[in-house]
Amino acid sequence: MVKALVFDAYGTLFDVHSVRNKCNEWFPEKGEAISKTWREKQLNYFFLRQLMGRYEPFDHITREALRYACKSNDVTLSEEAEEELMEAYLELDLFEEVEEVLSKLDDKTLIVFSNGSPSMIDPLVERSDISGYIDDVLSADGVKQYKPVPAAYYYAQQELGVEKEDILFMSSNPWDISGAASFGFRTAWINRNGLPREELDVQPEVEYEDLSGLLRWKD
Q: What is the pLDDT of residue 217?
A: 76
Burial profile 151-166: b = 16 or more Cβ within 10 angstroms, e = fewer:
ebbebbbeebeeeeeb
CATH code of the domain occupying 4-14+92-217: 3.40.50.1000
pLDDT greater than 80 at residue 219: no
Q: What is the pLDDT of residues 50-102, one digit of tens each?
A: 999 999 999 999 999 999 999 999 999 999 999 999 999 999 999 999 999 99
pLDDT greater than 70 at residue 30: yes
Q: What is the pLDDT of residues 171-209, one digit of tens each?
A: 999 999 999 999 999 999 999 999 999 999 999 999 999
Q: What is the pLDDT of residue 1?
A: 82
pLDDT greater than 80 at residue 218: no
135 is catalytic: no
Average pLDDT, the chain: 96
Q: What is the pTM of this model?
A: 0.96
Q: Quick one: what percent of the chain has pLDDT higher than 90? A: 95
Q: How big is the chain, counted in residues?
A: 219
Enumerate the domain spans of the chain: 4-14+92-217, 16-88
Superfamily per CATH, domain 16-88: Putative phosphatase; domain 2 (1.10.150.240)
Side-chain half-sphere exposure of 141, counting CA atoms within 13 A: 16
Sign of CA dihedral 25, 30, 33, 34: negative
Q: What is the pLDDT of residue 106?
A: 81
